[in-house]
Every structure is written in C-alpha cells, then in structure tokens.
Structure 1
C-alpha cells in the first residue's frame, strides 16, 4: 500500500524532529493505542454483558489529557539522560576528526550506550596507534634515505673536487647506495599495493617444492656466514598456480627473518606439504629455534612498521618493519595467508604460508 503524499511529508517532518521530541511522540502514540484498545474492550464487554452502552468519553478524555502530559514529560526527562552521553560521544568524534586521539570517554552504565562508548574509545586508541606508527614511518624513511643520499652527495662532491678518483671502486660504491634507495622505494610501493590489495599477479603452474629449494639455496651463503644451519626437508612435489616471483619474495622475507632471529649455531628448517582441509592448499612452514615471540606480539608482527624489541637484543639494522606486512599481502592476493606461532620468548618461531593449489585471489 502506498503512503499518500501528505503522509510522506509527515514522516519526513517527524524524522527531522529532535530525538527528545520523537521519544515523547512515541510515548504518546503508545498511550493512545492503549487507551483506544481499552475503549474498544470496554464497549465489547458492555455489549457482551447486555448492560447497554456506558458513556466513557469523559473518562477517556481526562485520561488522555493526563496521560499525554505525563508521557511527554517522562519522555523528555529520560531523553536528557539518554542524550547526555550521546552528546559526549558526538564531541569525542569531532575531536577524533580533528586529530585529537587522547580523550577517553567514561563508560556509562546502560549496556547499549556502554558498547557504543567502548567502540569509540577503541577507535581513538587505534587511530592514536596508527598516528604514532605513521610519525615513526616518516622518521624512519627520512633516516633510511638520508644516509645513502649524504654518502652519494659526498662522493659526487669529492669526485668533482678531485678528492676521489672516479674509478671502478667508486662507481661500485655509488651503485650500492643507489640500490639501497631503490629497494626502499620498492618496499614502500609494495606496502601500498599490499594495503590496497592491488598486487598484479602473473600466475602460472609452479612447483612449490622446487621454488622453496631454489630460494633457500640463494640465501644459503648468508646462513653459512652466520653459522646457522638451513635445512630444507625433502617433501612431495606440490604444484600450485601462483606468481613465482611474488612467492619467492615472500620466502626470502621469511627466511631472512628466521636468520636474524637465530644466534650463531642456530637452526632453521623449511618444509612443504599439502593439506586438504578446508580446501587443497600448499603449506610452506619456516621454523627457527631463535629468540621467539611473546604471545601478545604474534599479531603485531604483521602490522606495518612494527618491529618487536627483545631485551638485550638490538633491532636489526636497516629493517623497516614492513616485510611481513608485504608478505602477508602477497599471500592474501593469492587467496592464501600467513600465520605465526611461537611457544614463547627464547623458544623459536614458526611462520606458515598457506597457498591454494588453484589461484582464488584477485590480481
């Protein structure tokens, strides 16, 4: 049934009224329905009893007047208690929009409003944490870029002034610093694509086991230099449709992190297998016996620009804290994921990559 045009206008008018007025009108509406029902029931009861009709209009009018006044007054009074915390929430959201994240609202006793206030407080805390990491990102990027730029400037000025000889060694040094800047730019670009889910995948049928072996061999020299054992456990041939370059990027990150986590004499193992539940997946597991991760930090390691600090162990030099964020973004672009587990500090870490045998993610 279509509502007449006048009805539409009335509905729009009511929706634009203040909440306190609408609460009052709702109480009045309930009262009118109740009194109307009582009147109909009284008439039906009189007919049923055969005592004739009793005129209840004066009683109904008096009850209606008193009831409307009482309902509206009660609604306005109670709405003040309801609107007060809502006004505080509104003020808090305005402060959040202005970039002020330090205001924590008092949680009211009413459960529904308490849930809303707690959500706003969590939002403020999350935004404050994001802003803290953003500020640290700017500082770290500036630091990472300042060092090679300063070296490049010094070397170029030195060659221009005749202090340095423009020989092969000098050009090799210039190339190293330029490569460092390029890697930083590539990492930031990959981070942006990871957060937007915009990785371009060139997926082909790939032997995952062979890819893992080849990637591990690329890094074996670094393991040998640090006297850390790298063991690639023999496994079945696992073929999946994926982007081999992107997955190799993931494996390099995981194996590099495992190497950093281990002391001299440590051990890292890599296994490849297939799991059928909940759907056929290739599973690559990189496990080390290094410094481990506290349970509270397992989720944080995938957060961009987060570098977990360990007591009496400095953070690795040159790390930007975005490698695992990028790695997880690549895995999820393939329709898979990366998970971390650790028994605790000093007890090693395992990072598990799950990749569907058929590409299900979006490129």
Structure 2
C-alpha cells in the first residue's frame, strides 16, 4: 500500500466505484418513480396487449420488466466503467511512475559519485520541476567535486614552492654550500611563515565556507575600523611606491559585527589593491552609508579587471592573468584572501563585490554590512 503506483491505481478504482455506486443507487431509486409518473401522465394504468391477440403484459408486469432491465443495464454499465477506470488508472500510474523511476535512478547514480547523469524532463509541470531540481543538484555536485579536485592541486602547488626552497637550503647547508647565517635563516623563516599563513588561510576558508566562523559580535564603528586597518598597511604601500589615501569619514557607521573579522576583510582588500597597483599608483579607502548598509570602498589605479574576472577573483587561488604580481614574478599571499573576505562578509549578512572599468583602469572592491540599530 505504500507504493505510489498501487495507491494511484486504487485511487482511480475507488473514484470509479463511488461514482458507479452512486449512479446505480440513484437510478434504482428514481427509475420506478419516474416510470409511474410518466404512465399517469399518459392517462392509463399502463396495460398493453400482446401481438396478434396473444397474451398481454399488464401495467404492473410492464413496470417490473422495464425497471429490472434498466437496473441491469445500469449495473453492467457501472461494472464496465469500473473496469475501464482501473485500466486507465494502471496506464496513468505507469506514466507517472516512469519519470519518478528515472529520478530515483539518477539520485542513486549521484550517490555513487557519478555526477554526469541527467534526467529527461517530462511534460508534466510538477514532475518536470522535480527532474530539473535533480539535474541542477547533479550540476552543483559536479562543480563542487571539480572545485575539490582543483583545490587539492592548488594547495599542493602552493606548498611545493616553499617546501622546495626549504629543501634546497637544508641540502645546501648539509653539503656545506650555505652557512647557517642570518641571511639564510631569514629566507628559511620567510618560507616557514608562508606555509603557516597558507595553513591559517585554509583553516579560515574552511570555516567560512562551512558557516563555522566564530563571530564575537559587538557594536562597532565600521568607518573608524576601516581607517585604522588601512593605516596599519601604510608602511607597506610606501615601500612599494603606492600612495594610500584615507579621507576622514563623514560620520560613524555603527554595525553589529566582529571587529577583528571585519578588520581582516579591510586588510585583505587593501593588500589585494596593493598587489594589483604598480609603483606610482594610488589606493583609496573610503566609507559611506548606502540605504541600510555601511559600505567601505577600496579603490585602486592598478591593473583593473575584465568583466569575466569580476566574480572569478573570489574563487580560491585564482589570480588575474597578466596582473601586477604575475608580471613581476611575485606571489604575495595564498591566493584565497578575497575568498575569505567574502565569506566573512556574508557571515555578517553582507557581501564583498568587485567592479572595474576594464583592464588597465583600476578596480573597486566594496565591503557591505547591514547597519546596526
């Protein structure tokens, strides 16, 4: 009884049986009364002689024969209707179950890790919606698996460079090529810190994507926080020959948020702007209200972004082709700073977005957080 096909078939049969029984009872009750009424209207008791002077059938006998024939005919019709309804129900339930079986087979295939299976979309709107949802699920799972595989390769690539440097220095010191002096130890320390930063960033990325970020929410002035976070990086921008402009905010931007996490977002955005801006360029950090949101904008005069890169820059380990770092042969950071920044912003109910006039025309990244009460 729990199978959908059986329940559909029984529902058709039950509807047919109820309809037929109702018809039969009504005819059985109404037919005699209607017969008597018609006979009275004809002005006689309803007698009729038999053919050629044969024995006749009286009015009462004719009435009984007529009603009996009518009842029998209705009974046969009801039974035929029920049989027809059952056959139609069986056909209908089989048509309904066919796409559902296809959906079931597709979900089993997805559960086995084969994400290329697609369900043919039926004509019925409700079943088509289910099939489209399963197809969309398969596509999302395939994309997730592809990102997972790509992530493993990218993490291995990011770790390979510092590990190769460390291995080379260690072998050199063992062979006596390098002396373990301050310069060599400084290089080793830089690569170890790079590995630690990669591990910390991956941990933060995992927590952000899984929604496990620990937020210590409090009342925060986002405008003042952005100024302080940007000023902490002024020395790095000065060393790179990039001018940092931080205009005084027009007023406070109160938000309920984790101050350290939002400072991390602003730091990542300014660091990203520095990486994309060559010497002689400008990075500007401003804040403003926009509707019910507090907005921090980080604008640079650097390499800019093509339209297709405006979302891709938030992907893990994605670097803009031909960017400032690529041209200079540098790789600052782990390549997931923007991914983490967006994850933190979304954990606060906000977002981080990118805009650009195109390659060579600079970029603007905006942190948006709902204003507090």
Using structure 2 for the length normalisation, give the TM-score: 0.77
Larger displacement relative to structure 2 (134-143 or 242-251): 242-251
RMSD: 3.3
Q: Residues of 2 paired with 1:47 and 1:224: CA distance? A: 108
Q: Aligned pair 1:153/2:167, yes or no?
A: yes
Unaligned runs of 5+ in 2: 38-63
SS for the counterpart of 2:140 is: helix
Match of 1:252 among 259, 262, 267: 267
SS for the counterpart of 2:118 is: coil
Match of 1:242 among 252, 257, 273: 257
SS for the counterpart of 1:100 is: coil
Q: Is the contact between residue 287 and residue 351 of structure 1 (CA under 8 Å) also seen in structure 2?
A: yes
Q: Aligned pair 1:291/2:276, yes or no?
A: no
Q: Is the contact between residue 20 and residue 75 of structure 1 (CA under 8 Å) also seen in structure 2?
A: no
Shift of 1:94: 1.7
Larger displacement relative to structure 2 (267-276 or 172-181): 267-276
Q: Aligned pair 1:307/2:307, yes or no?
A: no
SS for the counterpart of 2:289 is: strand
Mapping of residues 323-342 of structure 1, within 5 Å: 323-342=337-356
Q: Aligned pair 1:190/2:196, yes or no?
A: no
Q: Aligned pair 1:271/2:286, yes or no?
A: yes
Match of 1:83 among 97, 101, 105: 97
Gap change, CA 1:70 and 1:266, over 3 Å in 2: farther
Q: Is the contact between residue 356 and residue 363 of structure 2 (CA under 8 Å) also seen in structure 1?
A: yes
Shift of 1:101: 1.7
Larger displacement relative to structure 2 (211-220 or 258-267): 258-267
SS for the counterpart of 2:346 is: helix
Number of the residue aligned with 2:5:
20
Q: Residues of 2 paired with 1:78 and 1:311: CA distance? A: 60
Number of the residue aligned with 1:350:
364
Unaligned runs of 5+ in 1: 1-13
Gap change, CA 1:237 and 1:31, over 3 Å in 2: same
Gap change, CA 1:46 and 1:92, over 3 Å in 2: same
SS for the counterpart of 2:304 is: coil
Using structure 1 for the length normalisation, give the TM-score: 0.79
Number of the residue aligned with 2:294:
282
